[in-house]
Amino acid sequence: MQRSYDSQGNRIPDWDVAFVTSNVNKYEEAEKILAEFGIKLGHWQRDLIEIQDDSLRKIAVQKAQDAYNQIEEPLIVEDDGLFIDSLSGFPGPFSSYVFKTIGNNGILKMIGDNRDAQFVSIIVFRDAHSYTSFESSVTGTISKNIQGEGWGYDPIFVPENQKKTYAELAEKNKLSHRYESLKKFANWFNNK
Ligand code: ITT
């Protein structure tokens, strides 16, 4: 990552806040969303400790702590979960592991008649003094087949009031779970 320094050798941040995530897709979407609110987002691509817990918020707070220990500058992390009603909320907090193991085809084989689901995003901001979290979710359904070529669960998640999956929707970034949680974060950050 390119760093800038002033004449005294102090680092000049090249961004307003850094996003620590192993997932480049998440970063690219977040960068565009926050630019809309005048916030320049940096990227530290790091693998973070994901504790096993029922609460996305607890997982995200722990990720933020791990990220802060690694980079020691103001940052955000995000934890997402796809909660499917007919699977009692599975994969929920295990969404990352489930995607890497059984993937979208595995989900399509398991799902029952009720295809309702929620995609949840938690953003945690962390600096030297404190942390603050921002949560949002989008209700939708799981499609019958893989539709489109997006990343992660994009080809199977159809947001409410739409007929297409996230993968097929050009405007995904305007109506996603990530957009709503980042909007809450941006409003708070810009008034800090
Ligand atoms: P970091 O923890 O390093 O940020 P990750 O990919 O492990 O990256 P999460 O644990 O937050 O991220 O994500 C849980 C899963 O949900 C993971 O498989 C993501 O690919 C998927 N996911 C999250 N947001 C998504 C989106 O907008 N569209 C499709 N899949 C998404």
Q: Which of 65, 96, 165, 180 to mutate to test the pocket of ligand 1 (most atoms within 8 A of CB)?
A: 96
For residues 25 and 41, give the distance between their C-alpha atoms in angstroms, rounded to a whole number.
Answer: 14
Q: What is the pLDDT of residue 14?
A: 84
CA nearest ligand 1 atom 20, residue: 152
Contact 71, 42 (CB under 8 A): no
The dihedral region occupied by 36, where left means phi > 0, alpha psi between -120 and 50, and beta the remainder, is: alpha
pLDDT at residue 4 tops 90: no
pLDDT in tens, 48-84: 999 999 999 999 999 999 999 999 999 999 999 999 9
- Highest average pLDDT, of 1-15, 42-56, 149-163, comes from 149-163
Cα(124) to centroid(ligand 1), Å = 15
Q: Which residues line ligand 1 (CB under 6 A)?
A: 21-23, 26, 48, 78-80, 95-96, 99, 151-154, 166, 176, 178
For residues 66 and 68, give the distance between their C-alpha atoms in angstroms, rounded to a whole number.
Answer: 5
- The reply to whether 54 belongs to the active site is no
**Mean pLDDT, residues 92-105:** 97
